Amino acid sequence: MDNGDLDPGTILAHDGRHPYDAVVPPIVQTSLFTFASYQEALRTFAGEEKRSIYSRVGNPTVAEFECRVAALEGAETARGFASGMAAISGAVLANVSAGERIVAVRHLYPDTYRLFETLLPRFGIRTDYVDGGDLAAVAAALPGARLLYLESPTSWVFETQDLAAIGALARRHDVLTIIDNSWATPLLQQPLRHGIDLVVHTASKYLSGHSDTVAGVVAGSTERIARLDAGVIPYLGAKLSPFDAWLLVRGLRTLEVRLRAHEQRALVVARWLAGRPEVIRVRHPALDGRVDGRQLLGSSGLFSFELRDGLSVERFVDALRLFRLGVSWGGHESLVFPAEITLRQAGGPNSARAFGVSPRTIRLHVGLETVADLLADLQRAMAASA
Ligand SMILES: *Cc1c(COP(=O)(O)O)cnc(C)c1O
């Protein structure tokens, strides 16, 4: 696909030429690719010829997805993974060694936090957490670190980081930067343009958009992605499958229109909640003034709020009919999830601090239902919570 200087929406809707002049790329559902000759195999394995060998390391349908994400992120290349966590653990493990230190922003996506707190320490890798909004704190933590891991906005509390300032700081200390850009998608935030080194996404959320795929992706320069190719992808073996890649290519076509609809509906819902007496505070990057048109170009459909003391989170959640109770987000359907359950899962006295939420925090994903129906649903649940 040659994207030249096309607008992101055009890249996703438009398509190149495929076999049989089909408008949709085929699903190349094969495990291996055969060679015409000994010499061709030899050249391929020596790296002199680029072609598919085995779908654990590369596949043409997966490449269709990868090249679209790379174009959207302004990256030279990208790699699809079997999940967002596979993308995150792959990007991290390709770049840290025993005895090295990671600096991460606080309030990470819970399974990323657990990766840093449970698996990595077994290999002698330690993580320090900082308030990513405090540049002095970030600067103080960086000397001697190998990697700075960002998530902007963060899960649950939606804190943001100044990517250009942080990227410059990290470069000064020769620290590699990785950001989880799942909430904003490359349509609303392009971290590489602000000096961040690698972007990771769960593709299970907005990139898919239909709650039917678990997948992930890492985007960056050819050189940085080559480190993943050489160091982790063949051995961790968590490559994206051709069928999931095909679903993602299909999901991406409507990313721009879906995201606009999520944004508009979520803003109406968030403002409505902010005006309710039952609600103490709403955490939404646009309401918090974080959509600056420079780094963050808009907002998506995920945010959280806190219910006043004395009201029942359980009765509120159970009274909802359209907002269904479940993890994940980014699909067509509206979802609710109470922080209390996440905190219980996480366990330990530090979990509330780690995720930055009180047990009265409730996360909403505003889907593609009509907003009047969603407000009526919330209104009923507010009454039930009393
Ligand atoms: C869901 C999620 C992930 C993990 O992605 P999976 O595809 O579920 O492995 C990572 N980061 C964020 C912000 C997420 O919401």
CATH classification of the domain holding 115: 3.40.640.10
Task: Choose one of 108, 202, 329 to mutate for the ligand 1 pocket test, by most ligand atoms within 8 angstroms of C-beta.
Answer: 202
What's the confidence (pLDDT) of residue 123? 97
Kindly state whether residue 1 falls inside one of the protein's structural domains: no
What's the confidence (pLDDT) of residue 11? 82
Residues 300 and 373 in one domain: yes
- Domain stop point among 231, 252, 273: 252
Report yes or no on whether pTM surpasses 0.85: yes
Hey, what amino acid is at 9? Answer: G
Set 106, 109, 239, 363: catalytic member: 109
Whether residue 2 is predicted with pLDDT greater than 90 in this model: the reply is no
Residue 229's domain spans which residues?
A: 8-252
Which CATH number belongs to the domain containing residue 297 in this structure? 3.90.1150.10
pLDDT digits (tens, 9 = 90+) for 293-336: 999 999 999 999 999 999 999 999 999 999 999 999 999 999 99
What mean pLDDT is reported for the chain?
95
Whether residue 103 is predicted with pLDDT greater than 80 in this model: the reply is yes
Question: Which residues does a 6 A CB cutoff place in the pocket of ligand 1?
Answer: 83-85, 109, 155, 180, 182, 202, 204-205, 214, 216
Set 205, 239, 258, 265: catalytic member: 205
Helix 84-93 to helix 222-231 angle (10° resolution) is: 90
Two structure tokens written together for 198: 């690698």
Residues 152 and 89 in one domain: yes
Residues 277 and 248 in one domain: no
56 in active site: yes
Residues 285 and 142 in one domain: no
Residues 179 and 266 in one domain: no
Residues 229 and 85 in one domain: yes
CB atoms within 10 A of CB 46: 8
For 267, residues 6+ apart whose C-beta sits below 8 A from its C-beta are 284, 286, 287, 299
Whether residue 93 is predicted with pLDDT greater than 50 in this model: the reply is yes
Whether residue 208 is predicted with pLDDT greater than 60 in this model: the reply is yes
**How far is ligand 1, taken at its centre, from the CA of residue 202, in Å?**
5
Whether residue 3 is predicted with pLDDT greater than 70 in this model: the reply is no
Q: Are 154 and 105 in contact (CB under 8 A)?
A: yes
Least confident of 25-29, 81-85, 86-90, 356-360: 356-360
Kindly state whether residue 21 falls inside one of the protein's structural domains: yes
205 in active site: yes
pLDDT digits (tens, 9 = 90+) for 245-258: 999 999 999 999 99
Residues 232 and 266 in one domain: no
Kindly state whether residue 3 falls inside one of the protein's structural domains: no
For 83, residues 6+ apart whose C-beta sits below 8 A from its C-beta are 202, 204, 214, 215, 216, 238
Residues 131, 113, 195: CA angle, nearest 5 degrees: 55
Q: Whose CA is nearest to atom 4 of ligand 1?
A: 84
Kindly state whether residue 2 falls inside one of the protein's structural domains: no
Residues 84 and 232 in one domain: yes
Set 106, 113, 162, 180: catalytic member: 180
Whether residue 267 is predicted with pLDDT greater than 50 in this model: the reply is yes
Count of domains observed in the chain: 2
Region class of 198: left (phi > 0), else alpha (psi between -120 and 50), else beta: beta
Whether residue 377 is predicted with pLDDT greater than 80 in this model: the reply is yes
pLDDT digits (tens, 9 = 90+) for 333-365: 999 999 998 888 765 445 666 778 889 999 999
292 in active site: no
Residues 111 and 196 in one domain: yes
Residues 283 and 200 in one domain: no
Set 56, 126, 227, 276: catalytic member: 56
Residues 353 and 287 in one domain: yes
Whether residue 13 is predicted with pLDDT greater than 90 in this model: the reply is no
Q: Are 77 and 220 in contact (CB under 8 A)?
A: yes
**Do you know the residue count of the chain?**
386
Hey, what amino acid is at 331? Answer: G
Whether residue 65 is predicted with pLDDT greater than 60 in this model: the reply is yes
- Domain stop point among 229, 252, 275: 252
The span from the first CA to the last CA of the chain, in angstroms, equals: 55
Residues 34 and 95 in one domain: yes
- Domain stop point among 217, 236, 252: 252
**How far is ligand 1, taken at its centre, from the CA of residue 204, in Å?**
7
